[in-house]
Amino acid sequence: MAREPILKTWKLFIGGAFPRTESGRTMILWGGDDRVIAHCCQGSRKDLRNTVEVARKALPGWWARDAYNRSQILYRIAEMAEGRTAELVDAIRSVPEAGTERAPTAATARKEVACGIDRLVAFAGWCDKFPQVIGSR
């Protein structure tokens, strides 16, 4: 008999921490071939409220950063994603495409990761351009 893998239960990401949901509920994410792909925390209203409160508190700090610093942060995220491309491709390939029961091909997954990284780089490049183009902060 084949051993079943022990799957990680993905937690919420709130304020730089990974808390479990307040309710303790989880949900199972099923693949197209009726196998369990992952266990995820099922957030409650309180979890959502806490997330919004933390995001609102963080917004003034982000807003106070100059455009160059915001650009550096977004570019660093792109660098980190580039370094973890193989892991991101594997994660995308583990989930069937919407409306189908088949996983994306490796080429499709690599293209999706590359597009995401390219968008982060583009947003990083535009951080200090918007005030000049739009005329506001």
The pLDDT value recorded for residue 128 is 80
Domain layout of the chain by residue ranges: 1-64, 65-137
Query: Which residues in the chain show pLDDT less than 70?
Result: 32-33, 98-100, 131, 135-137
Determine if residue 30 is left, alpha or beta; phi over 0 gives left, psi from -120 to 50 gives alpha, anything else beta. Answer: beta
- What does 17-65 look like in DSSP terms, one character per residue? B-PPPTT--EEEEEPTTS-EEEEEE---HHHHHHHHHHHHHHHHHHHHS
Closest C-alpha among 64, 18, 68, 6 to residue 43: 18
CA–CA gap between residue 126 and residue 117 (Å, rounded)? 14
The pLDDT value recorded for residue 115 is 97
